[in-house]
Every structure is written in structure tokens, then in C-alpha cells.
Structure 1
Amino acid sequence: MPIAEDPEPRPSEGREPDGSDPSGAGGKDPFADLVLDDEFVKGATVKEQSGRSRMLSARWKHTPPVDPGGRRSVNDGPPQAKRRFGRKPKLQVVDPWGNVRSAKRRRTLEWRTPLFVVLTLAVLLAALNIDGLRDWLHTGGSSAAHVPVPTVAPETARPTTAPPTVPADQPTVAHPWAGSPAEGWPNGADAFVLPEARATGVFSADQVADQLQLVKDYLTAGNLDPKVVAGGRPEAALAMLQREERDVATGALDNPSQKNDPTNWFSRFDPRDAVPVGDVVKVQGRMTFEGDGDKGVLVHTDFSYVYPLRPGPEAAKRAATPAPPAGSPQPTDPAAPQGGTAKPVGLLTPVDDAPADTWTTRTIVRRVDTFRFYDPGRYSINPKKLVFAGQQTDPANSACGVHDGFFHPQFAQFDQLRPDTPEPRSTGPAEDPYDRSKDIPKAEGCGTVSRT
């Protein structure tokens, strides 16, 4: 078959080694020095689409894509809602991730957010006032707010003034220390801080330390033992006394009288008209010692005991007849609470048959006692037993003229039941039973108190 000739001569194909044009035209092949390496590929200005891109482009020419809703870009902004029936479209809220929050979710957040804020504040306030929260849970939130009194350390010297005045709140089973400066006093035996022992008279420092501990044990057994305070017999305290002292105290318990009243020795309440609230007794005072001038030791104690009490089953009857008839039978030992005497105020357990808002009262007993330890080389005496060298007792808020071996506090809720005949009382100003800056008054008879 004939081949048509080119109208013009073809340029050199550049197959010579040096790329010269064999025709002699002087031209050079532009692709002679081209190298198809990575640099050439990366520097290309035009790139071919991937296979999937070409496939989707061909499909979308006939079937455009549809937006399914779902996630949106934060750059898209909120979708435009359609107006229906002339109503104003509701604005849609988009979260930081581009999701549209539903109306139900928005309504849920509207009430949850303030609830979370309130709960957070409540937890914070409760953490700052643990004692107040415990009292609120303990009483079911029925009692009024109570402001605690600052804590006071045991005395190291005689105070110069009376305790400061506190709000005159009515004490209850839930708050037995309301209105009393004793709320900040030490609990029970925590107030019996022993002085540092030293050799005195014929006794060594260790022997003096044992004597101080014996005095502390006696004060605890006679004034803080829950069974004794609730009307029981103070057997443990009796066992610490010398035989002569024990015989006198036992006779007072068996046959109480005005001249030989057991309350001069022990703190006891008749469970028929006064029941201790819990087993905590607030105590304040100090203990010191010195030589007796006869190679012996004198231990001085000055402590005030504050007892919280609720009415007993016969409290109303006793209020109408304050003085029980002579020879009235002694109550049997009650089933008093067991355990120690120094539980925190916040852990008081109200009596089961007394509501938390039942009015209570307090009896304050101040005892100034001196114990003597004789030189066993000169006296026939047991150096491990106690002998009284002096006793003073001053009770406040206890029925006057009643000497049956118990303290009988007066409760405000029964004031209207008391007879109109005034009780024998001394004239003069009322005494503050919490004032420990003064000596116990030496006046005979009954007095009045400014606060309990």
C-alpha cells in the first residue's frame, strides 16, 4: 500500500548520543535530560484524581448527595428552621462539637443545673460544720439552730472572773448544754489533769504520783460513774476510803440525814424524778498538792460538775410535793448506761422514751476537798487508802431542805405545779454557780442561782 509522504520533513528524533539533530537543523530534544524521579512527581502542578473521587463525581452528576442531618461542622452554624403557620422558628442550640441539642435535653439541663449548684453548696456547708450536721441528723432537723460554746482547757490556776455569758437558750434532750458556759468545759475525767509529781515529805516522786492517781480514781468513781449518778450505790468509791471514812460514808448512804448527807460525798440523782441525759458530765477545776508539815502529803481538789437531766416518771408529782415524806423508801439501782464518762457532746444518745425536744435542766455541784496521806512510819494507816482532811460541797439547782441522799433538780416545765408557799431561801443576790473565781459561800440555808 502506498504511504503518503509528509508535507514537511520530520524533526530529528534525537537518537544520537549527544542528542544532536542528524538532519543538521540544529534542534535538540526537550526530553533528553528529563529524569522521572520522586522530586519530579512531587513537583507536578496537575494531579490526577483518585479512583474513588472519579467514581463519586460520575455518580453525583446524576444523583446529587442528600444531607442526612446528624453531625454538623461548627462552621456551618445552626440549621435554619422552617416557619410553620406563621410562628417564629425556635433557635436550635449547637454544642461545641456541632451537635444540635434537642428540646428535651435542654429542658433537662435547665432544672438539673441549679439542682447541682444547690447540692454542691449544701455539701460544702456540711463539710464546714460536721457537728451541726450530725446534730441535725440526730434530731431529724426538728430542733432550732444551736451555736456551740468555744472549748475551754482545764484550769491551771484559779480564774479571776466568771465564765462569759452565753445566750439563755432552753436546754433539751437534743441539746442539753444549750445556754450553759459548761458546754466548752472538758468531758468527765479529762478535766482531772494531774500535776507533775515530786518527792514530798517521806514519799518519793513515784509514791506521790500514785497518790494523785488514787485521788483521780476516787473523784471519777464518786462523781462521774454513770450508775452512781443515776442513783446507784458507789461501791468502787467506798472501796478507796480508809475504814473509818468508809464507815461514815456507808452510814450516810444507809440513813441519810441533814447532818450526814451522802451528797456531801457522792453525786447521785433519784431516778424517779431526774434521769441523766447520756453519760457525759462537764467538769472544770484543778488539782494541787503540798506537804502537810508532818512528813505527809496534802492533795487539794476544786472541781465543778455539771449534770444534764431530764424529768423522771414522777417529776411532776415531786414538783407538786417538793419534800418527800420522811422515811420514804430508797429507789432500787437503775439500769444505768455502761461505758466511760468522756463521750463527745455530739454523740449523746437521747433516752428512748424522751423526745429530742423535751426540756431538760442542769445541776451544778462544786466540791472543794482535801485528802491527806499520813507518814506510814508514824501512823498506823494504809498509805493506799484515802482520808479526808476537809470537805466542802455547794450544789446549785437542787431542792432545798431535802436530805434523802439525792440531788433533786427543778424543771421549768413544772413551775406551775409547785405550791405557792415559798421554799426557805436566803436573802441576798443570786449566786452564779459557774463562777469559780470565788470561794464557796459559808452561809447556811438555801440560796438562789442566776443561771443553770
Structure 2
Amino acid sequence: MPIAEDPEPRPSRGDEPGGSDPSGTGEKDPFADLVLDDAFVRGATVKEQSGRTRMLSARWKHTPPVDPGGRRSVNDGPSAAKGRFGRKPKPAALDPWGNPRPRRRGWRAPLLVVLTIAVVLSVMNVDGLRTWFSDHLGKSSSAAPAPVPTVAPETAKPTAAPPTTPDDQPTVDHPWKGSPAEGWPTGQEAFVLPEAKAVGVFSADEVASQLQSVKAYLTASNLDPQVIAGARPEASLALLDRADRANAVAALDHPTKDTDPTSWFTRFDPREAALVGTTVKVQGRISYEGDGDGGVLVHTDFTFVYPLQPGPDAEKLASSRRRTPDTAPGGTATAKPGGTAKPVGLVSRAAAADSGDTWTTRTIVRKVDDIRFYDPKHYKVDAKKLVLVKTQWDAGNSACDVYDGFLHPQFQQFESHDPEPTGPTTDPYDRSKDIAPADQCGSVSRT
């Protein structure tokens, strides 16, 4: 096999003229039959070092390599000292040239220090931490308050009063604080109508229409925001029979002790009180039966809870209110023949002067009505209009003996000049008892 240094083939013997035998004996050249193929290269006993090995050898003559540690064999003697917690040190990472890489700073130790400091501070000032979470995240660091259980509309008369709740002061932001009505149905959700069946001379469809009229009357009389704010209840008046409508209009125009329009309609003087938001909590039930004369008799029993905030003149009106001179102490207000009303006053003295109008209160009104639809063949009535046969009502947290056509809630932040209560203390949320006439101004156990 020719090589680059010798373009001419070598002689096969040593006796040619000018032969290559250096001895001059004429013997054959020992390298004449040598072939530098792959087999020759693989069989070589001495091999040339690679370029990388020669480069590293030259570098290490001046800069010896550093032992990274951790790469020891069983013949290297005792192992090096272990790291923290008895752990073996990790072998150092090497760069492509075999040098150890600089170790990165760990992030676990600083994080552990920060968490330790936070835990220590929280233990030292739990209340402060809770306040911070409440201010910045809108939630307390303590466990979230249990959700208020939802109370379904009544299907029968309850056997006991609602459970006692914490006596917390309600505010504009939390108007239902401390009220058992917080989980009650809202507004018309409580007016669940029973299944309509034929009664007397009326078919099932006619009874269903009558029940819808009763629901509309309850809504317009007790839930209409404008009526609650003192407006004239025109929608309610339109649903009443001619005689009842005339009596209600007279009561609105000339309210007195014996004809108090609040027995029909829930109204507040806007100068004194305003509804907080638009939510009114309601609980109760509706039933019906035949009236024994071919007609239908509908029974309604509902409690309405109104969250209220002071009006622009609330403090002035609370300071100037006096018992009306023509009303004797302990008088009862007759709503209509056969019905009575017992205004119940919540007497409380002025509290924190800086509470301003952020504190709210609640007035609880319970109304029990018997509404009759007469047989038009035997009575001169409109079969689609409501006739109020009997009305009973009870107002918790409303000033006693004030008959001007409005309810008058008392706010804790304003000192009241109403008369001291001499009657019993009642629970306005207790629907297990019937409304009983009272001859004295009492107080309520909660609002």
C-alpha cells in the first residue's frame, strides 16, 4: 500500500541496483509486504492519544485538576466527612472541560427563615394577623362562619320559637346580624300557594285565581318598596271589595287609634326610617276552605321583618316624640271589628355617640288575615275582590300609642322619649303562639 511520502513502490527484494536494503546484504526488505489497513491499526499495541487528552495534559501541567470529591473507589481509603444530618455530599457538577461548576445559592434556607419569622409573629399577635387578613383579603384568618341555614316556608303551625341567636348590633353592611330571620325566605318566596281545588260554587281554576289575588294583595300591602317608604298603596286598594276599600281610604286620610292604616299596609315615615336595601324576610303560610255558604275562606298568617336605617330626621323625631294627649296609657288599637293590634315598643337608651347612622334596626310585623270570597249569586259583591273578614296584627319595635298612619321603629343610637313599657316582654319571632290582645305597652326580647 503506497504512502504519501513514497510515490514510487518499494522494491520487493534487497538485491536490486540501488536497493533499499541498508545493510547492503541484498536481503528482502522486512516492510515490503506491510499493509496499513484497519486490521493493522486495531492490532497496534501503542496508540496515539486523542486531541482532548493531549489538550488536558498540557493544561494540567500548569493548573492541576481539583478533586471534586464524592468519586471514590473502595481502594481510596476512608470516605470523606459526611454533610449535615449525616447525608453524603453530592458530587460536584463539572463543566464540559472537567472543571467543577460553581454551586448555586440555595433558596430553601431563606424561605425557611421567612416562614419561621411569620409563624412566630402570628403566634405573638393572633388578633393583629386576623385583622390584617380581614382588611386586605376581606376574610378573617379564623375559620369561616358557618353558613346560615335556609328555612323553608311553613307548611303548618310551628311548635316553638326560632332558636336564640347572638345579640349583635345590626349595621348597614350587615342588617340581618343577630336576627333568626336571616335564613327565612325573601319576599314573595314565602307565599307558597296550596293546590287549588273546587270549593263551594267556585271551580278549581277560580280558586287558583282567588289565591293569586291574595298573594298580590300581600305583596302590594307589605312588600312594595314605595308603600314601605310611605306612598299610598293604590295597588292594594284596587284589590279590595268596595266596602273594605272605603274603610282603608278613610284610615289613610284620617288615621286614628281605632282606624290605623298600618293594620292593612306596612308603611314608615321616610323622614324617620328607610329600608336597608330591598330585601324583606318573610315567613308564614296560606290555607283555604269553604265558608259554609258556597264561598271560599282564605287564611293567611305571615311575619314580615324589615331592616331599617335612620331617616334624615330620625334623631329629631325621636327626641320630640311624646304620647298623644288624647290617648290613655295602655290603650289597644282596633284594626277592624274582630281584630286587634298590639304595638310593641323596644326601649333602649342612646349608645355609642359615634355610631351615627351606621347602626340599623329591624321592625317585625305579623299579620293574620281571614279573606273571604262570597258566592256572587247570594251576595252583592265582586267575586274577584277580597273581603277582609278578620285582621290581627302585631308590630315589634314600633313606638306605642302613635297613630299617624306609620310605624315608628326605635334606633339604639338615638335616645327615645317614649313611655316606659309596662306590659309583658314578647318574642316577635315566635310564631307558635297566636296573637293575643294586650292592654299595655310591652317590649320585645329581640329584633
TM-score interval, smaller chain? 0.5 to 0.7
Q: How does 1:25-174 map to 2 (within 5 A)?
A: 51-53=50-52, 55-57=54-56, 59-60=58-59, 64=63, 100-102=103-105, 109-110=111-112, 149-174=148-173
| Equivalent in the alignment of 2:268 | 269
Change in Cα spacing, 1:230 to 1:100, as seen in structure 2 (3 Å) is: farther
Residues 269-315 of structure 1: CA deviation (Å, up to 9, x unaligned): 11122222112111111110111111211110000111111222222
RMSD value over aligned CA atoms?
4.4
Written as runs of structure 1 = structure 2, the 5 A alignment for 1:142-291 is 149-291=148-290
SS of the residue 2:279 aligns to: coil
1:164, distance to aligned residue in structure 2 (A): 1.3
Task: Return closer, same or farther for 1:269/1:55 CA change in 2, 3 Å cut-off.
Answer: same
- C-alpha contact 2:356 2:413 (8 A) present in aligned 1: no
Give the SS at the match of 2:414: helix
CA gap of 1:438–1:278, structure 2 versus 1, over 3 A, is same
Give the Å deviation of 1:58.
Answer: 6.0
- Report the equivalent of 1:432: 427
Of 439, 444, 447, the residue aligned with 1:449 is: 444
Task: Give the residue type in structure 1 aligned to 2:193.
Answer: L
Q: How many Å separate the matches in 1 of 2:53 and 2:255?
A: 116
Gaps of 5+ in 1: 14-34, 79-92, 119-134, 328-353
Alignment of 1:290-305 (within 5 A): 290-305=289-304
CA distance in 2, matches of 1:189, 1:52: 93
User: Deviation of residue 388 (structure 1)?
Assistant: 0.9
1:188–1:117: structure 2 CA closer, same or farther, 3 Å change rule? farther
What is the distance in 2 between the residues matched to 1:62 and 1:217?
104
Q: Is the 8 A contact 1:191 1:285 kept in 2?
A: yes
8 Å contact from structure 2 (residues 324, 402) kept in 1: no
Match of 2:384 in 1: 384
Instruction: Give 1:151 deviation, angstroms.
Output: 2.2
Distance 1:116 1:218 in 2: 60
**How far is the alpha carbon of 1:218 from its aligned partner?**
1.0
Question: Which residue of structure 2 aligns with residue 394 of structure 1?
Answer: 394
CA contact (8 A) 1:139 1:356 kept: no
How many angstroms does 1:268 deviate by?
0.5
Give the superposition deviation at 1:109. 3.6
Alignment of 1:410 with 2:420, yes or no, is no
- Give the Cα separation in 2 of the matches to 1:239 and 1:324: 34
SS in 2 for 1:310: strand
Instruction: Give the 3-state SS of the residue equivalent to 1:239 in structure 2.
Output: helix
Using the TM superposition, give the Cα deviation of residue 414 of structure 1 relative to its aligned residue in structure 2, in angstroms. 2.2
Call closer, same or farther: CA 1:55–1:183 in 2, change over 3 Å: same
Q: Is the 8 A contact 1:94 1:100 kept in 2?
A: no
Structure 2, unpaired ranges of 5+: 1-14, 16-23, 73-79, 81-88, 94-100, 121-133, 327-353
Identity of aligned residues (%): 53
2:303 counterpart letter in structure 1: S
* Cα gap change, 1:174 to 1:46, in 2 (>3 Å): farther
8 Å CA contact 2:71, 2:91 repeated in 1:
no
Query: Within 5 A, what are the aligned runs for 1:284-363?
Result: 284-323=283-322, 358-363=358-363
For residue 186 of structure 1, report the CA deviation from its aligned partner.
1.2
Q: Does the 8 Å contact 2:169/2:359 carry over to 1?
A: yes
Structure 1 position 192, deviation (Å): 0.9
Conserved 8 A contact 1:200-1:208: yes
* Rounded Cα–Cα distance in structure 2 between residues aligned with 1:432 and 1:171: 18
Asked if the contact 2:300/2:369 (under 8 Å) is kept, the reply is yes
Partner Cα distance (1:197, 1:209) in 2: 5
Secondary structure of the residue aligned to 1:238 is helix
**Distance (Å, rounded) in 2 between the aligned partners of 1:280 and 1:136:** 27
Q: Assess if the C-alpha contact under 8 Å between 2:186 and 2:280 holds in 1.
A: yes
Q: CA deviation at 1:139?
A: 8.8
CA distance in 1, matches of 2:430, 2:304: 12
Q: State TM-score, norm by structure 1.
A: 0.67
